[in-house]
Amino acid sequence: MLLDDKIVKIREDFSYLDEQKLGRKIIYLDNAATSQKPNCVIDAVSDYYKYQNANPHRGAHYLTVKATEAYENARSSIAKFINAKSSDEIIFTRNTTESLNLIAYSYALENLKKDDEILITILEHHSNFTTWHYVAEKTGAKLKIVYLDDNFSVDMTDFENKLTSKTKLVSVTGASNVTSCMPDIEKIVELSHKNGAIVVVDGAQLAPHKKVDMQKINCDFFAISGHKMLSPMGIGILYGKKDILDNMKPFMYGGEMIEYVYEDYSTFTLSPTRFEAGTMNVGGAIGLAKAIEYMEAIGMDNIYERERQLSEYAVSQLNKIPYIDIYYPQNAKNVGSAIAFNVKEIHPHDVASILDNFNIAVRSGHHCAMPLHKYLKINASCRASISFYNTKQEIDEFLTHLEDVRRTLGYGLE
């Protein structure tokens, strides 16, 4: 399996695997909720606060110059990572949710009007649902939903049928946090642009796992949460095309996003600082840049292939278990590493609690995707989400203890 010769060394980089310090063994299969952090990322954040702690772009003394340099170098690293044309297209936010809200408030509320249409898919995270509910309510635009084919993937025929001259904004996940479907974003962007619509991509579950290229995808906005890709919580990015960003109103108002402030009015800077009001999460930005450096050293293609191999193995074994229902695209060309499933007759929370007794961490619930679960005719599911630092042995232990779940509750006993 890819990276097997390096995985022992890679796993040494993650302190959560130190059983002696943690007090227990952990098989962490909740990576879609948040990833674990390598020590180099933790050290980079710590070193910033120890040796460079100052407020960027606010002063001329040594520490603030160093902090500004580190902050802007982080922006440049992220721009390079996603192949943005310029670091001016990278806005630091708290997370994907804030990034989507920024688009909603600064772009959509200013540009959409009554009877315009917003097109999303049933796969979307609540952040990519409720945001557009609000925009539709405030503007009079209509929200339309694209549904799935029989393989838990976006039905492109349904998408094309619902894409009309009234469609002004399309917002779609890059990878589902439930079914792991990776929609054909490039095709969606191409069709949407031909139709005159802008395209927003929720990249929270895509960017940590697969190489993304803004010039190839050609979307107008792309949102990322750092904590899902090895960096600290509280840092995210919004990529936006420069010509669009510079014509958007600010999302929040305050220090550093201003050009001039007079007694009766203010003027504002251009992107990215226009959208970065107040003191930002400098340590988080530095941590995200370090996480990207770490991932690039391993290789994004290597990360994707390893996770795909582990996921394919897990799915192939789950498919053999008669009491498991699985919600995952079969034999798909592009697919993520989050595997949603249910154990027949057992509530997902019970499954997750019993697995936790065996030191296995999985998610249970609706995964911030209630509409999708309702569409699938289930109330909740379990989710095992795999990262490159997981192992086949961990997958085998997870599969073995799924049988213990049923035994614990008295199923399958003579």
Query: Catalytic residues, which ones?
Result: 368
* Residues β-bridged to residue 384: 339
Strand blocks (E) in 226-270: 236-240, 258-261, 266-268
| Contact between residue 55 and residue 67 where contact means Cβ atoms under 8 Å apart | yes
Nearest-5° Cα angle at 42, 40 to 43: 60
Q: Please give the span between the terminal C-alpha atoms of the chain, in angstroms, as a whole number.
A: 38
Residue showing tokens 């003191």: 279
Q: How is residue 148 annotated by DSSP?
A: B
Length of the chain counted residue by residue: 414
Helix (H, G, I), strand (E, B) or coil at 232: coil
Contacts of 229 (CB under 8 A, 6+ apart): 35, 207, 208, 288, 291, 292, 295
**Amino acid (1-letter code) at residue 284:** G
Residue 203 CA to residue 130 CA, distance in Å, equals: 17
Strand blocks (E) in 241-380: 258-261, 266-268, 324-326, 338-343, 360-361, 363-365
* Residues β-bridged to residue 266: 261
Six-digit token string for 301? 């293609």
Residue showing tokens 């582990």: 310
Six-digit token string for 282? 């400098």
| Contact between residue 26 and residue 361 where contact means Cβ atoms under 8 Å apart | yes
Pairing of strands 117-121, 236-240: unpaired
Residue 101 CA to residue 130 CA, distance in Å, equals: 10
Helix (H, G, I), strand (E, B) or coil at 92: strand
Handedness of CA 100, 101, 102, 103 (dihedral sign): positive
